[in-house]
Structure 1
Amino acid sequence: MKVLRISILLFLLPITFLFATELEVHFVDVGQGSGVILQTSDAVVVVDAGQYGEMADYLRGIGVTDIDLIIGSHAHADHIGGFPAIFENHEIATVWYNGQTHTTRTFENFIDAILNSDADYYEPGIGDSVSYGDLEIHVLHPEGSASDYSGHLHDKNIVIHAVYGEVSFLLTGDAEVKSEDEILDSGLDIQSTVLKLGHHGSRTSSSVDFLRAVAPQFAVYQAGIDNRYGHPHAEVIDRVQQNTSADIFGSDIHGTIIFRTDGKSITVETEQSATIQRESVVDRVNINTATVEELQQIVHIGEARAEEIMRLRPFSSVSQLSRVSGIGAGRLQDIIDQGLASVD
């Protein structure tokens, strides 16, 4: 009888595992970057991978060897830079990317990793979807492949709606207000349990209309501690607090954030305990009227550049800051991404 009892237990254990239905969504602390893992007993999906090797280390740490789907939202290093390390250590079935090319070595390494793998490759658009058991992945943006698009990388950012029973996650990457408006105009139902705030909590994203349409119970941003962009921006935190009932979590103060759901209820676990307070909203800096001290709130602007800005103004757009000594394409993009400089 003792032998029989042990045999029954050994038989029942795999049945219990097979019928275990839970989705875990890991918002991994990758510093100033984005990386999300969706894991069920049926599949593993990775949406963005930070800039370095943190995601590969984390995946190994939770015992993941095979990945069913990788999604690179767009070509910026803080979203795709960590993928080559993942390809080196894991078997990848499918890769989704929007198709837009970029000129950086990081992007080239990302493409090389795909080409050197056995993974299938696809450039998805709105309406595309895939299911892994009870987990459904729906594409809300862009309209299709961005392989011929030469505009800003954020414009064709892939936005994913992950649905598991009655619980859903809206993963926005660096989608800005223009993309949010396009999603709203599509007429799709985007109400979600958890919203990943666009562009690391930047003021370029998370419009009032978008927040109200999503109506999240939880809002998450991924940003590095004391990052040079000031993410998350205070007015975004204020917008979320004013227009939703969401609890807010951020990787800069909470570390890695893990949601678990059976498709009906949801729990959240954080690496660190913290509370997000209401912050004072920082006004934008008008580069045509600001003082030397005010101009120095803008990333890459010290006293010498602030004085040069005052000599060169007026400017008709923030992009014209490229006229200032030492502000090349990279620093100009940082200034635009910070979202603090304005001309009105």
Structure 2
Amino acid sequence: MMDLPELIILDVGHGNCALIRDVNGVIVIDCPPGGTLAETLEHLSIKEILHILISHSDADHIGGMIDLLSNEDIKIHNVHINPDAIKKSAIWLDLRIALADSKKRFGTVLSKLTTTETGKFNIGSVNLEVLAPTYELILGGAGATDLKKRKLNSNSISAVIGIVHDSHRVAVLAGDIDDVGFENIVEDIHHCPADILVFPHHGGRPGSADPKIFAQQFCTFIQPKLIIFSIDRNRFNNPRTEIVEGIISSVPDAHILCTQLSQQCAAALPSAKPTHLTKLPARGLNSNSCCGGTITIKIDGSRTTYAEMALHKEFIVSQVASPICRKFLSIVKPDK
């Protein structure tokens, strides 16, 4: 019998993708380009997806959706995605066409993804909550303003998903939420503790806010024990150093993990194969550029942990030349 429920966070390079598996089905959160998601679904023999949740309309979150919708071997029951009037890209139009076609051919149900959908994603003992955006924020949408007349863009209305098990918030997947979107969350929810945080926007710029202050405020809001950056070693040089500094100053005991090994941490890749990686597909496996790679987390309420944390720490210490996740620890913890 499978050891469920579980959360799988995929190494897809620059992008986001997560799977939640429980006894009654599978939920996919974001569908980036590349073959990692399709390979993972095949590896796990997944032929049916109950819900696909798309955080927002950027290509690194929707780029793999068209191929998934056209795959006749996989049945997709529901897709939850918000409108974005400012998105003029060809891929966004192609996705809308593919969604309309899937609705006609397979009866795929389309709906928005707002806080009002919380409670509709029960696939067993795991419940998903939509922490953002609110319905009234989506009524303005990207290109408009929020209720305090702050400018909204695609990242401002990114969905933020909480994963709850046994009345305990296990994880928050923050999409690409920026400073304006975060301010709206804080105004609606004053505190949102969770053990695991997939940090917003791959650790890149959080809009117009100071990156260090944004990271401090976000981590104070979540108080995570494990922080994950979904990054590509060869793109954008994420996570930003100021973001990491803000995290460590706010939650110095949190474990930081990047899916791939940032060039900031190691100009050259390790020669030895890491021993802490799962057997699941990961974008960085062939090039040996994984840091945390694709990670699997057994969901177990307040007892949820990342089982390979000690092995990942050992990898960072022994094989990574200058890990930015440890750069500021001596400032915060001078005795260690």
Secondary structure (helix, strand or coil) at the match of 2:56 reads coil
Task: Give me the whole-angstrom Cα distance separating, in 2, the residues matched to 1:255 and 1:207.
Answer: 23
Residue number in structure 2 paired with 1:154: 155
Task: Give me the whole-angstrom Cα distance separating, in 1, the residues matched to 2:10 and 2:308.
Answer: 10
Residue by residue over 1:36-81, the C-alpha shift from the partner in whole angstroms, topping out at 9 and shown as x without a partner, is 1111122211111112332122211111110011011111100000
Query: TM-score, normalised on structure 1?
Result: 0.70
Secondary structure (helix, strand or coil) at the match of 1:162 reads strand
Residue by residue over 1:77-120, the C-alpha shift from the partner in whole angstroms, topping out at 9 and shown as x without a partner, is 00000111222332111111111142112112222221121211
Task: Give me the whole-angstrom Cα distance separating, in 2, the residues matched to 1:167 and 1:76.
Answer: 27
Residue number in structure 2 paired with 1:238: 245
Secondary structure (helix, strand or coil) at the match of 2:171 reads strand
Aligned counterparts, 1:13-24, within 5 A: 17=1, 22-24=4-6
Contact 1:208 1:243 in 2 (8 A): yes
Residue number in structure 2 paired with 1:212: 220
Secondary structure (helix, strand or coil) at the match of 1:225 reads coil
Structure 1 residue 270: Cα displacement = 6.2
Residue number in structure 2 paired with 1:92: 76
Question: Which residue, 203, 207, 222 being the options, matches 2:230?
Answer: 222
Residue number in structure 2 paired with 1:194: 196
Residue number in structure 2 paired with 1:254: 292
Instruction: Give identity over the alignment, percent.
Output: 22
Contact 2:3 2:298 in 1 (8 A): no
Gaps of 5+ in 2: 144-152, 261-290, 317-322, 329-336
Task: Give me the whole-angstrom Cα distance separating, in 2, the residues matched to 1:203 and 1:76.
Answer: 15
Query: TM-score, normalised on structure 2?
Result: 0.72
Residue number in structure 2 paired with 1:142: 133
Gaps of 5+ in 1: 1-16, 281-344
AA partner of residue 292 (structure 2): H
Does the alignment pair 1:54 with 2:36? yes
Task: Give me the whole-angstrom Cα distance separating, in 2, the residues matched to 1:127 and 1:32.
Answer: 29
Question: Which residue, 64, 79, 93 being the options, matches 1:82?
Answer: 64
Aligned counterparts, 1:1-344, within 5 A: 17=1, 22-89=4-71, 90-101=74-85, 102-117=87-102, 118-129=107-118, 130=120, 131-144=122-135, 146=138, 149-151=141-143, 152-165=153-166, 166-187=168-189, 189-204=191-206, 206-227=214-235, 229-244=236-251, 245-252=253-260, 253-268=291-306, 273=312, 274-275=315-316, 276=323, 277-279=325-327
Contact 2:17 2:61 in 1 (8 A): yes
Distance 1:270 1:29, change over 3 A: farther
Contact 1:23 1:164 in 2 (8 A): no
Structure 1 residue 201: Cα displacement = 1.0
Task: Give me the whole-angstrom Cα distance separating, in 1, the residues matched to 2:65 and 2:248.
Answer: 34
Task: Give me the whole-angstrom Cα distance separating, in 2, the residues matched to 1:26 and 1:93.
Answer: 20
Task: Give me the whole-angstrom Cα distance separating, in 2, the residues matched to 1:50 and 1:82.
Answer: 5
Secondary structure (helix, strand or coil) at the match of 1:160 reads strand
AA partner of residue 174 (structure 1): D
Per mean C-alpha deviation after superposition, the further-off stretch among 259-268 and 99-108 is 259-268
Secondary structure (helix, strand or coil) at the match of 1:136 reads strand
Residue by residue over 1:322-343, the C-alpha shift from the partner in whole angstroms, topping out at 9 and shown as x without a partner, is xxxxxxxxxxxxxxxxxxxxxx
Residue number in structure 1 paired with 2:266: none
AA partner of residue 108 (structure 1): L
Task: Give me the whole-angstrom Cα distance separating, in 2, the residues matched to 1:76 and 1:248.
Answer: 25
AA partner of residue 137 (structure 1): L
Structure 1 residue 265: Cα displacement = 1.9
Distance 1:147 1:87, change over 3 A: farther
RMSD between superposed Cα atoms in Å: 2.2
Task: Give me the whole-angstrom Cα distance separating, in 2, the residues matched to 1:147 and 1:84.
Answer: 26
Per mean C-alpha deviation after superposition, the further-off stretch among 143-152 and 229-238 is 143-152
Residue by residue over 1:149-207, the C-alpha shift from the partner in whole angstroms, topping out at 9 and shown as x without a partner, is 34221111111111112342111110012211211111354111111100001241653
AA partner of residue 101 (structure 2): N
AA partner of residue 54 (structure 1): T
Secondary structure (helix, strand or coil) at the match of 2:23 reads coil
Distance 1:179 1:186, change over 3 A: same
Distance 1:62 1:21, change over 3 A: closer
Secondary structure (helix, strand or coil) at the match of 2:184 reads helix
